[in-house]
Structure 1
Amino acid sequence: MVERKYYSEADATHCIQQILESVNHCHQMSMVHQDLKPENLLLASKSKGAVMKLADFGLATEVQGDQQVWFCFAGTSGYLSPEVLHKDPSGKPVDMWACGVILYILLVGCPPFWEENQHRLHQQIKAGAYDFPSPEWDMVTPKAKDLINKMLTVNPAKRITASEALKHPWIWQHSTVASMMHRQETIDCFKKFNARRKLKGPILTTMVVTRNFSVAKSLLKKPDGVKESTESSNTTIEDEDVKARKQEITKVTEQLIEAINNGDFEAYRKVCDPGLTAFEPEALGKLVEGMDFHQFYFENALPQSNKPIHTIILNPHVHLVGDDAACTACIRLTQYMDGSGLPKTM
């Protein structure tokens, strides 16, 4: 697209319409893509009006109707929706949020949310903190901004759907609504965005195994007088309760790792028991009590590294030990930039 001599708002409508048609088809087939971004959009040729293809279904998940699934951190940082960052159960609206980010880029060549620090980036997204700054947005039509606002709605229940977006006036009546004026500044920004994306891409992609989210049946209140009639029913409730507890433990473990990645001691402290005790190597085998030892590392060791480090857990296994204890086993996937500036994974 950066090689084109002419690019207008109307060209952006042609692109996003094809993306929305693809997403709408996926959603009708009960499939959520989960990783919509420019890298996963392919043009069939370099000619004007070329067909656009949606690629890379490696994180795609089957979701029936309005079913909610615990996606966790599946996707790429700048395109993750607020509900995914909050680690709430999510569904098809996550794709529509990513479409809003893509449309923003298609119009001005830069993303709505951009921060070098991942923690600040995530805070921006959670708050839906974006705007339409001057002068790059001055010549973009109000209808285009309206569609972006409907896509980048923080509340997923109020976010526009793919089928609704296809009926939006900016898409449906693009020949009369969208501006035909050439946007050279957008193409210039595309070039800068591509260069930055190619550098950041390897370390900004965060993937986690998708897990189904289920509510423990034992937490649901039953009407008075209603009792479980069979032994098998009790077993099912017990199994669902155990499953929910294991998912919660996995979620807390991920929150712990995220707090360490972000150097956020306050978030770390909330997850840990204030009476924590441990045999730290530096203490030469003596028992260390409380959080002061850990706070020292957050204040002195972690801030010294300004390079982003992303750690996620894969294939988590949780073994419950009594009512208030558990042990976990998982694969830790860590991505970082080494001393020479090359992306590394271990």
Structure 2
Amino acid sequence: MESVEHCHKTSVIHRDLKPENLLLASKAKGAAVKLADFGLAIEAENDKPSWYGFAGTPGYLSPEVLRKEAYGKPVDMWACGVILYILLVGYPPFWDEDQQKLYNIIKHGKYDYPSPEWDTVTHEAKDLINRMLTIDPNRRITASEALKHAWIANRERVASSVHRQQTVDSLKKFNARRKLKGAILTTMLVSKNFSTFREKSQSQGAVQAKAAGRSSKKDDGIKESSDGSTIEDDDVRARKQEIIKLTEQIIEAIQKGDYETYTQICDPHLTCFEPEAFGNLIHGMDFHKFYFDNANKGNKARNTIVNPYVHLIGEDTAVIAYVRLTQFINSSGLPVTQQSEETRVYQRKESKWQHIHFHRSGSPSMPAK
């Protein structure tokens, strides 16, 4: 809760709080708890609720997200309520094999405290859960308020000290089911993504058409997914894939010495920081054109994008960060691999993405751009 409070004080919303994103620093008793996986985290604008897209993990999504309403920091507190419920009895407050039924249960906040496992849980613990799982986000308890709640602030007096062996056993079963489902889901995603990647690489139009087709299957635009997996809406996923594809096209154009394709994707006023510029900010295309005119075209270097991360800023701006591995045979006939960290900024102008800024650190690739 202290980690969540820290995030919220800096206007960061995690959006994907769940047990598997809570880590222990070590196996020692009393080890520090670490909050992990900020892949879906966003920075709230002016701390005002807004629609930041459909993202999270099904069983931990808040009612306002499922209703596709403006949301903010309270979504994290709802997820904390789900986590606390699970930690106390070993099973989630909301559950149904049918995902749409699950969403309907969450929207109406339908949960209870069945006997006998909840009989030994104190009133204060249940009260904290109730305040976290309040449907109205404006009335939901905040992280700072939760830290002052009696069950946390006065644990010695109000928290039960009974060892909950049944909860431990239930948690082990819950974790086993989660891992099994995760393994099955991963296998499904790998096979699905491999096939869809080939389809998406045919054209950007195919990406958008396919995304639109999926979204039209449901009125609410919610993507089907197994419980326990992080999801994003199809429009966001499609736009991110589009940025990755554009970046691959830029690197391919550099590889082939195709200046025409390069200029079609890059803004004429492209700015860049890169080692060849000795720390200077370069503006325009002349610096880049030099390499296309003088580098060996069609060299046999192989470029691979590793760990791409796309951050969408509104509808018309995107940033991609990734590691670029370049493999080639040097003058001595030996295989060499170089690595660089790259960031590219894109802006959509007249319905077309344009590459407007580039930053690279690390070893230069071949050719340099």
**TM-score, normalization: structure 1?**
0.56
Question: 2:50 is paired with a residue of what secondary structure?
Answer: coil
1:256 maps to what in 2?
A: 216
Shift of 1:161: 0.4
CA 1:199 to 1:69, structure 2 compared with 1: closer, same or farther past 3 Å? farther
Moved over 2 A (4+): 199-204, 251-264, 307-318
Instruction: Give the gaps of 5 or more residues in structure 1.
Output: 1-19, 207-250, 265-306, 319-327, 330-346
Name which of 77, 91, 98 aligns with 1:96: 77
1:219 maps to what in 2?
A: none
Instruction: Give the gaps of 5 or more residues in structure 2.
Output: 190-210, 243-314, 316-350, 353-369
Separation in 2 of the partners of 1:149 and 1:255? Answer: 34
Q: In the alignment, residue 120 of structure 2 is paired with which amino acid?
A: M
Question: 2:216 is paired with a residue of what secondary structure?
Answer: helix
Question: 1:148 is paired with a residue of what secondary structure?
Answer: helix
Q: In the alignment, residue 130 of structure 1 is paired with which amino acid?
A: Y
2:36 maps to what in 1?
A: 55
Q: In the alignment, residue 14 of structure 2 is paired with which amino acid?
A: H
Separation in 2 of the partners of 1:111 and 1:252? Answer: 33
Question: 2:234 is paired with a residue of what secondary structure?
Answer: strand
Separation in 2 of the partners of 1:95 and 1:73? Answer: 14
Aligned pair count reads 216
1:106 maps to what in 2?
A: 87
Verify: 1:312 aligned to 2:234, yes or no: yes
CA 1:263 to 1:252, structure 2 compared with 1: closer, same or farther past 3 Å? closer
CA 1:69 to 1:315, structure 2 compared with 1: closer, same or farther past 3 Å? farther
Q: Deviations over 1:249-271 (max 9, x none)?
A: xx99876333599999xxxxxxx
Contact 1:100 1:151 in 2 (8 A): yes
Shift of 1:71: 2.7
- Equivalent pairs: percent with the same residue? 59
| Structure with bigger RCO (C-alpha 8 Å, 6+ apart) | 1
2:50 maps to what in 1?
A: 69
Q: In the alignment, residue 92 of structure 2 is paired with which amino acid?
A: P
Separation in 2 of the partners of 1:47 and 1:263? Answer: 40
Separation in 2 of the partners of 1:102 and 1:68? Answer: 23
Alignment of 1:192-231 (within 5 A): 192-201=173-182, 203=185
**TM-score, normalization: structure 2?**
0.53
CA 1:135 to 1:255, structure 2 compared with 1: closer, same or farther past 3 Å? farther
Alignment of 1:148-167 (within 5 A): 148-167=129-148
Separation in 1 of the partners of 2:213 and 2:41? Answer: 24
Separation in 1 of the partners of 2:179 and 2:12? Answer: 28
Question: 2:138 is paired with a residue of what secondary structure?
Answer: helix
Higher strand share: 2
Name which of 48, 59, 67 aligns with 1:86: 67
Separation in 2 of the partners of 1:63 and 1:261? Answer: 23
Contact 2:8 2:73 in 1 (8 A): yes
Shift of 1:176: 1.1
Verify: 1:174 aligned to 2:155, yes or no: yes
Shift of 1:65: 4.5
Q: What is the root-mean-square deviation in Å for CA atoms of aligned residues?
A: 3.4
1:191 maps to what in 2?
A: 172
